[in-house]
Structure 1
Amino acid sequence: MSLASQTPPAPAPARGGFLKGFALSMGVVALILAAAMGGALDDIAGAAAQARPHAPDLARLTQLPPVIQVHLYTALAALALGGVLMAVRKGRAFHRVAGWVWVALVSVTAGSTLFITSLNHGSWSFIHLFTGWTLIILPLAVLWARRREVARHRRAMMGLFYGGFAINLIIAFIPGRTMWSLFFG
């Protein structure tokens, strides 16, 4: 009998680490939002209680500044394509080509936020921290894929997709914001 056959198999990697990290991150973001918004939470709760969902107001959509329209359209396209990329088999030609399209869409989405300052009277807000994070992690994730560091690439891209889009989608639907007004205002 050889030594290789007597060596016990390596333990399987722990599962659920991503979900625990994601849940913790969402909790931290919720606390930061609550602290940053202070008394505005009562106003938001009141507006949410009076919400009447409806189909998107396309007339209001066409009246938005071009940079917000670009941001909205590229974010929605990246969200849809990202969902497809999470579902398909990785490493194939489709994954690589669609991945580059997704990177371009996310780059434009994040880059456009640098010019969206109307919510904070002409200056950046804490939400722009997500922009910085995205513009740092996205090229690193591409670099890791090119170096065949699959685990790092996967974690970064999943973090961008689930963390970045999930958190920002929640923020986008805060009463008084553009997405809220398109569907509830």
Structure 2
Amino acid sequence: MSRVSQTSAQAAPSRIEEIRRVVLPLAAVGLAVALVPVAGGIVRAASGGRLRAPDWGLLAAQPLVIQLHLAAAVVALVIGAMLMLMRKGVTFHRRAGWLWVTAMSIVAGSSIFITGVNGDRWSFIHMITGWTLIALPLAVIAARRHDVKQHRRFMMGMFYGGLIIAGGLTFIPGRTMWNVFFA
């Protein structure tokens, strides 16, 4: 590799790193600010909830896009947890990784058609959708280039942000998953 191409290859991750250092804190602050107006209502509603047997009929009554979204999210959560616990770079990791990317694509793609938190419009949660649709191909490209550090950051960010945090937001009182387990 020539000296010029080595320099540009090293500069690209630093630019991505700079963007990540700015975007992630801004997204966290944006999420916190968006939740402030409803935080009191969430706490009051949550204090009245009690864990009970899930109401599967409520899920069965949901539109197909929500059922697809939930099924893909559960698959992505299980596969993602397995991938983080198991050895990296082996055949299983690569094959299961493609299944995870497919499941996450379905989760993000289907979420475009799910509204309700903000009336019939997209909400702040859809920022995670946009980021996932951008980050998935970037993570795959990083893996194909053997940039393990960048690949790990993208994938773990999507796992924790796109599945754990966004999934946690589905348990806000009044939302479907809250009603299935607590209402």
| TM-score (normalised: structure 1) | 0.81
Report the structure number with the largest CA radius of gyration: 1
Number of residue-to-residue matches in the alignment: 162
CA distance in 1, matches of 2:63, 2:132: 23
The residue aligned with 1:184 is: 182
Aligned equivalent of 1:94, options 89, 92, 103:
92
Identity between Structure 1 and Structure 2 (%): 52
Name the structure where helix makes up a greater proportion of residues.
Answer: 2
Q: 1:32-52 CA distances to partner (integer Å, 9 max, x unpaired)?
A: 444324442222111111111
Q: Is 1:110 paired with 2:108?
A: yes
- Structure 1 unaligned segments of length 5 or more: list them: 1-20
Aligned equivalent of 2:164, options 159, 163, 166:
166
Matched letter for residue 65 of structure 1: P
Shift of 1:151: 1.2
- Structure 2 unaligned segments of length 5 or more: list them: 1-19
Contact map agreement 1:85 1:98 (CA 8 A) in 2:
yes
| TM-score (normalised: structure 2) | 0.82
Q: 1:65-87 CA distances to partner (integer Å, 9 max, x unpaired)?
A: 11011111100110011000000
CA distance in 1, matches of 2:150, 2:57: 43
Contact map agreement 1:34 1:41 (CA 8 A) in 2:
no
CA distance in 2, matches of 1:145, 1:36: 34
Matched letter for residue 70 of structure 1: L
Structure 1 residues 76 and 43 mapped into 2: Cα distance closer, same or farther (>3 Å)?
same
Report the aligned-residue RMSD: 2.1
